[in-house]
Amino acid sequence: MWIFFNNFFNTMREEAVKLASSSQEMRVLPLPRAGRPENFSGAVGQFRLSASASLKSCMVGDPITLKMTVKGDGNFDRVSSPLLSSPKGWKTYTPTASFKPSDSSGYKGKKRFEQAIIPLD
């Protein structure tokens, strides 16, 4: 639907417009397996990861909040929270996620994760 402005004072009228184009054939190939990391989620793009922790030192049992931010361009729906590579000795909770797009298509933006972890040893 296109909106056309009638005058300077934003009086408008809506008009339905049907758009069409010629069809194009496309062949979509799967992502290559060579060089793919073991835990690849399918996220493709240019991403930057930053992380911080609520505490720099703590005692056994003290909760720590990990904050991770992924910024960039790509398919953010496939970006997931990084997991601890060695969770032994830690109590971990499911991370929360939020995405803030910086363009109308959701291809550019920032995805934030927060995760509570507790040292057990």
* pTM above threshold 0.75: no
CB atoms within 10 A of CB 116: 15
**For each successive 10 residues of the chain (121 residues), what is the average pLDDT?**
54 84 91 84 92 91 94 93 78 93 93 94 86
- Interior/surface letters 58-93, b for 16+ CB within 10 angstroms, e for the rest: eeeeeebebebebbbebebeebebeeeeeeeeeeee
Q: What is the pLDDT of residue 82?
A: 76
Q: What is the pLDDT of residue 7?
A: 55
